[in-house]
Structure 1
Amino acid sequence: MAEAPNVTVYSTPTCPWCDRAKAYLAQQGVPFKDVDVSKDYNAAMEMVRLSGQQGVPVTVADGEVILGFDQARLAKIAAKYAGPKRPPLGIMAADAEEYLSRHPELAEKVPAGTKGVYVGKIRPQTVAERAGLQPGDILTSFAGKRIRSMAQLDQMVDTLKAGDQATARYLRDGADQSVILQF
């Protein structure tokens, strides 16, 4: 588990680069303290003392000072402080409707107009493999919502964290089945 973070972002509410730095850290799962230097004079002076700069954003992690939005250096902070990473779903797939239209021999085995995600391959040691999904399965719903495309499934999976569960419904050899996916 990552050690207790000591990450501070000195920012102002009108700074777009500040927003980018904070959004990047949040997206990477890095807890941080947001300090608005436009409202806190002492914090502004502390930022200048640490960085030698009056411009924002300034990100400080264990004494390391990052000026501006330096994604490469912020990524190093993220690698150190991010919480547990969600394991990958682990499928190589395509939109079912489009895939089946190009492979009529497979389309004969499923109900006409089937929408979802056609599973082509399963990567080893992933959520999909542990759940027993197989190549040829067609995912039709995820977390209680119908899925019509790989892009939609990707968006839904991206909302999950390590430890979350989601139920997936799928067609295998024309039969409707379900499985709980443990992330």
Structure 2
Amino acid sequence: MKQVTIYTTHNCAYCNAVKMYLKQKGVKYTEFDISRDLKKQLEVAKLTGQSSIPVVIIGNKVITGFDIQQLNKLLGLQDFTGKKNRKIL
């Protein structure tokens, strides 16, 4: 499975939703709370050009916000129809 990193803050509803979704799917991740780490805040700004969160990094791909379709696609998980997302080569 690809490495997953999440940039969050403690009071962010969408951050909590992303974490809960990944836990439900059995996906392990590394979390950084940017409200407590200026260096990580700067990383988010550099990665996305903005300061909005959550930011999810899967491999070398960046997702901003809670985008279930993108999460499923990049992690090879099933979508809401029960079909496994296929990777296009």
Q: 1:68 aligns with which of 54, 65, 69?
A: 65
Please give the per-residue CA displacement for 1:17-42, whole angstroms capped at 9, x wherever unaligned. 00001111111111100110000110
Greater share of residues in strand? 1
User: Aligned to 1:44, which of 17, 41, 45?
Assistant: 41
The residue type paired with residue 63 of structure 2 is I
How many residue pairs get aligned? The number is: 77
Q: Which runs of 5+ in 2 are unaligned?
A: 78-89
Contact 1:29 1:78 (8 Å CA) reproduced: no
Q: Unaligned stretches of 5+ in structure 1? A: 81-183
Structure ranking higher on relative contact order (CA contacts 8 Å, 6+ apart): 2
What is the alpha-carbon distance in structure 2 between the residues aligned to residue 62 and residue 48 of structure 1? Answer: 18
The residue correspondences of 1:1-183 to structure 2 (distance < 5 A) are 2=1, 5-79=2-76
TM-score, normalised to structure 2, is 0.79
Is the partner of 2:6 in helix, strand or coil? strand
Q: Which has the higher helix share?
A: 2
Residue 62 of structure 1: how far off its partner (Å): 1.4
Q: Which structure has the larger Rg over C-alpha atoms?
A: 1
How far has the Cα of 1:6 moved from its partner?
Answer: 1.4
Taking only the aligned residue pairs, the percentage that are identical comes to 36
Return the alpha-carbon distance in structure 1 between the equivalents of residues 41 and 74 of structure 2. Answer: 22
Query: RMSD of the alignment, in Å?
Result: 1.3
